[in-house]
Amino acid sequence: MRISIASILLLLLSIKNMQAQNHYWSQQYGAENTLLGGAMTAGANDNSAMYYNPARLGFIESPKISISANAYGIDIVNLKNAAGTKLDLKSAKLMLYPQIASGSLIIKRNPKFKMVYGSLVRYRTALHYEQTNTMNYDVFTKLPGEEYYDARVEYDYNGIANWFGGAFGYKINDNWSIGYTQFFTYINLQYRQSYNITSDNKIRNTYFVSSNNSNLNFSINNIGAVEKVGIAYQKQSLKKDSLFFRVGLNVTMPSFKIFSKSKVYQSSELNNINEQGFTPSDSFNAVSSVLNNSNSNIKTNFKDPASIALGFEIENKKIRFCATVEYFIRVKEYNMIKDNSKTVKRPVQNNTPVYVEDYMTIKQSNQPIVNVAFGFEYKFRTKIKSEEKTRAWSLLLGIRTDFNNHDQVYRLQKLEKGTENAFNPDNWKYIHYSVGASLDRKSDKFSFGIDFGKGLTRKTLQAINISEPTAGNFLLGEKQNTVIPQINSINFVMGYTYKFNKTDRLMKIRPL
């Protein structure tokens, strides 16, 4: 039974997974930890301590193999008015993705020294939005009557961020432990933004089409490294041996880049939009411009911030209460994509080309935020069938914030006429609620439950406005602060931990 559960969860780990860089706490590690709100800085008692606080490894008594997965997850997003008045942007995708797979070792010659190795999914996201609008509207106020207007917009935002590495913990004495984690990270971020907008116009007997077509595509592949250092304190009550007090501090260093290889493509095309160039005669001065460039090996960077987490936990034989607060330090605006080429403006007039620099340069920044989490566990009475067969059920409850760290847009260094900054389609705040149960036996532990995320409904700026277009704004309307996000995220999580004993030969793995 143990092997079959582990095999099923390992199979889930082979499925492609997604991430969301705008939220630091969307993903938690270990089913039990997730159901306790991720408030594990002081009390992580399994291999997930490599992420929450490596110093907690010093208090692990036996080596373990841990596998946790979000078996099913769905994000339901409805950004009301995001593309204009009564024009919503919606996305709903069902995903299967893992949380963490890890193992731990205890060295016989120095049992105070513990080691953990494994991989985890740091972020995941898969969002797709599209919207259309066709209508008769007075786009060109200086032309008689209304024009036929047709607009189509589309956004795709997908990515994956895997962290893998090892952690070390050393138990200084019965109360204190220190630890260090080294992660190597792989991040793939794919973004696509496309606008295709046209207006059918007429001046006397002359019919013509005005258009604004814009596309931005980029894919970032970044390999980097992140370090964590931690300290943990644990004290057992002298009066009640089942009562424990725990405190933990975990510091995450800012990431640094090892290697990156990315590509980007951007184009913008404007036709017959200059209303001042139109005359009341049967002819008009056509005005067109094209910018188009791509690079498959462009300089890129992606930065994860430094953070400081402080946690507290109290536990006895009946209950366990834990809390964590983590402060994420600001990342100043930097060049996520740096374009060193020159983009020519077309058409070229009089054989004298005009160039645009930094046309494909994209900047981003991360705001400082504070997230807090609380967890509660109620332990039912342990059932003892024999010395080798004990069962202890627990009820797990948790709540945590997951605030957005990012601006609403990826800012373009050079914003040309008719183009827009890249809309960030993942810019809301979450509060997560979780409930579940765990079954703890002498040789293993199984946890399962539901993690529900609710987006906070505060008004934000529109991604684009295609409901009130004007010629002066290149067939777009002025963006308004009228977006009401309606966000729901539902995940079923489950996890399995196998605890080794001295004679264990499962999968031919033994403690060192």
Q: What's the average pLDDT block by block, 10 residues per block, for the chain (512 residues)? A: 37 35 80 92 90 92 62 78 93 70 73 87 85 95 90 91 93 95 94 94 85 94 95 91 93 94 92 71 67 90 93 95 96 91 90 91 91 96 73 94 79 84 78 94 87 84 93 92 86 80 44 34
Strands 113-137 and 176-203: unpaired
Residue with tokens 């094209």: 290
Phi, psi angle pair for 135, to nearest 5° = -170, 165
Long-range contacts of 148-151 (CB under 8 A, 24+ apart): 148/199, 148/200, 149/197, 149/198, 149/199, 149/469, 149/475, 150/197, 150/198, 150/199, 150/200, 151/195, 151/196, 151/197, 151/198, 151/466, 151/469, 151/475
Looking at 204-242, which runs of residues are DSSP E strands?
A: 206-236
Phi, psi angles (nearest 5°) of residue 509: -105, 130
Which pLDDT belongs to residue 316? 93
- Residue 9 is predicted with a pLDDT of 36
Number of domains, the chain = 1
Taking a C-beta distance cutoff of 8 angstroms, is the pair 512, 107 a contact?
A: yes
pLDDT value, residue 23: 79
The structure tokens listed for 117 are 């190795």
Domain of 443, CATH number, reads 2.40.160.60
> Containing domain of residue 247, as a range?
2-508
In whole angstroms, give the CA distance from residue 133 to residue 69: 40
Strands 262-271 and 176-203: unpaired
Position 145 scores a pLDDT of 87
CB 221 within 8 A of CB 165: no
What is the rounded distance in angstroms from the CA atom of residue 336 to the CA atom of residue 222?
11
In this prediction, residue 67 carries a pLDDT of 61
